Amino acid sequence: MEKILKKALESTGKAEVFYGDYRTAEVSYENGKLKTVSSVRMTGAGLRLIKDGRLGYASTTDFSQSDRLVTAALDTAAAGPRARFDFPGDPGKIDSIDSVKERATKLGISEMVEMGAKYVEKLKKLAPDCYPDTSITVEHDRTRILNSSGLDYESEGAMYHVYFGATVIKGSDVLMVPAFKIPLEDEYDPELAAEEAAEKIRMAEKVVEAKTGPTTVLFSPMGLDSMLMALGAGFNGKYVELGVSPIKGLTGTKALSDKLTVWNDPTVRYWYRSGALDQEGIRTEKRALIREGVIGEPYYDLLTADMYGRRSTGSGYRNGFEAPPSPSVSLMAVEPGDKEVSEMLASMEEGLYVDFCLGAGQGNVLAGEFSNNIGLGYKVEGGKIVGRVKNLMIAGNAYDALKENIISVGSRRGFSMTMCLAPHVLVDKVSVTAKK
């Protein structure tokens, strides 16, 4: 890295080298059979430099070709975006945040295969007619940032996440039962996961009709995916400045329910993106995107902040070394409330419990709009789940739904499929229509 930086500084005064060592291991079972066993490691470096006021970027996996890397970055700078910012220098003393899940660093392929087998075996005993599906994925990365302003920062992140579910086919009826877990303070237990999946299958055995129109809906963390995606995109500083985000001009304004607080939180222990600095070397902090319904500041990386006369919020993150950073949250985390799920269900005279939706992200996400088929949902009557619903869709605008219609927020949180940390949320007047 030092050689690459030195070579770059022969042609320009501002440069940054980002090194990444990424390891991913995955074991998956499909229809109860072992399908995939893989282990991949990628190591490389990305070079950003500013030449004649423009930003260039190139990456490589061949550290012996520093001349070519520098030349490629200089070539892209000729047509790159204007950049007036300086790369950050030494931050001085910083807090230590544990972003390494120790279990993830020790979880080997053979143990992952065994975890999957235990889940399949247990679930087949509990629900013999189902086809179990599961995947265990370990992600472990080490990164280093070295730049012309004197920054030399190393970080490490490690976590594992598990998808566990099943498919049940009876004639033309296909039931998909998904679940997702990222263990942070706790660990994943395949047998408990099988019991959870079996309970979902049991509750879904009876198919019932449900009313359409404005409906009270209890969303699980997975069920909230579309709305969470909309909020995450809406606070991206790039989209705010372009005027395509609904929060444009609303900073400091109470525009959503006072029951809703959403954080961009880089301080969560064992989360692989947690850290005192972002992946550009800017200090991070726990920031409220929404605090009791009041709209907070958008998030920016260095380039976006520079383009619009703002300051970076420590939100520059990368998808590996092959691409430059872009504005992103470390972890979007919804503040829990004070209700148990059982209490929230008991409070519902009639409505739906939406566990997950198909097609999260469809529709105009930047405008907050969602329109999704209910993948797994249950009808609730008199505070109890009475059966599964089929052929229904939910639609609306996340900002409208979360403005005045939140009834209550759950006290326990889990991860959505899009890796947001969220509780159950009970929302009134959600538009429910029959699928044509």
The whole domain housing 108 covers 2-200
Judge whether residue 436 has pLDDT over 70.
no
Q: In the chain, how many H helices and how many E strands?
A: 10, 20
**Do 195 and 309 have their domain in common?**
no
Which two structure tokens, joined as six digits, stand for 97?
């945040």
**Do 338 and 368 have their domain in common?**
yes
Percent of the chain predicted with pLDDT > 70: 99
**Do 124 and 262 have their domain in common?**
no
**Do 289 and 147 have their domain in common?**
no
Judge whether residue 303 has pLDDT over 90.
yes
Tell me which of 183, 200, 217 is where a domain ends: 200
Residue 1: what pLDDT? 85
Rounded to the nearest integer, the mean pLDDT of the chain is 95
**Do 384 and 308 have their domain in common?**
yes
CATH number at residue 117: 3.30.2290.10
**Do 70 and 98 have their domain in common?**
yes
- What dihedral do alpha carbons 148, 151, 156, 162 form, nearest 10°? -70
**Do 274 and 344 have their domain in common?**
yes
- 3-state SS, residue 78: coil
Residue 286: what pLDDT? 96
Give tens-digit pLDDT for 62-110: 988 889 999 999 999 999 999 999 999 999 999 889 999 999 999 999 9
Structurally, the chain folds into a number of domains equal to 2
Residue 64: what pLDDT? 87
Give tens-digit pLDDT for 248-287: 999 999 999 999 999 999 999 999 999 999 999 999 999 9
Q: Is the dihedral of CA 83, 84, 89, 93 positive or negative?
A: negative
What is the value of pTM for the model shown? 0.94
> What's the CA gap between 388 and 254, in Å, rounded?
37
Give the pLDDT band (50/70/90) at residue 359: confident
- DSSP per residue over 252-286, as a string? T-B-S-TT--EEE-TT-TT-TT--SB-TTSPBP--
Give the pLDDT band (50/70/90) at residue 210: very high
User: In Å, how far are 153, 202, 240, 364 from 367, measured between CA atoms?
Assistant: 37, 37, 11, 5
Mean pLDDT of 28-33: 97
Residue 364: what pLDDT? 83
What is the 3-state composition of the chain as percent helix, strand, coil, each rounded to the nearest 5?
Answer: 20, 40, 40
